[in-house]
Amino acid sequence: MSTDERHEAHSARLLSSESLFRGRVFEVVRERIRLPSGLEQDLAIVRHPGAAGILPLWDDGSVTLVRQYRHAVGRELLEIPAGRLEPGEAPMEAARRELEEETGLRAGELRSLGAFFPAPGFCSEELHLFVATGLVAAGAGRLSADADEELDLVRLPLERALEACFEDAKSYIALVRLQRDLRSRSS
């Protein structure tokens, strides 16, 4: 059975969709679907435009992270710079924008580390990851970030960053993928 045939066999038919909430970052919709078996289900789904995360990698092998308070978990987390895609914005352009806004840095080169779905059971967000190299200070400096963001920059060796970012999935995945990427480039 081909991938397309498997997808079609597992595809659900959308029967109805209703917006329950629309916020600044995402929308929550209730969808009624019919599975191929005929079973109908009601689902609450978070519709998200997607996001880009960027891992600034210095020539000495250290990385720059941002420390910020996350009210949903009630504490500060150490994370890679990241943000949502603006309408019509390509993931790589969003990564460049977020890098400059949150760190005041520009990248000579951006390389994709792939993309993943952080919570595919209920959310459509696809998060695109990049590594930035050839880093230089942007002319205007740092932190023209969103007004509701208070960020501190932290530069750590890659191994320490892996330990420090374990609580934030996007950052941990980016760091693990970077390690894999660096190993494959050196062999």
pLDDT at position 185 is: 85
Distance of CA 166 to the CA centre of its chain: 15
User: Tens digit of pLDDT for each residue in 50-104?
Assistant: 999 999 999 999 999 999 999 999 999 999 999 999 999 999 999 999 999 999 9
Amino acid making up residue 32: R
Cα(115)–Cα(91) distance, integer angstroms: 10
Angle at 101 between CA 27 and CA 140, to 5 degrees: 150
pLDDT at position 4 is: 52
- What's the farthest any 2 CA atoms get from each other in the chain? 59
pLDDT at position 10 is: 72
- Could you tell me if 158 and 62 are in contact, meaning their C-beta atoms sit under 8 angstroms apart? yes
- Domain extents in the chain: 3-47, 51-186
Residues of the chain with pLDDT under 70: 1-9, 140-149
Write down the H helix ranges in the chain. 3-10, 91-103, 158-164, 169-186
**What does each C-alpha distance from 55 to 15, 33, 82, 129, 135 come to in angstroms?**
41, 38, 9, 8, 11
Tokens coding 75: 């504490």
| Chosen CATH of 51-186 out of 3.40.50.300, 3.30.1360.120, 3.40.50.2000, 3.90.79.10 | 3.90.79.10
Beta strands, E only, 57-100: 62-70, 75-79, 82-84
pLDDT at position 8 is: 57
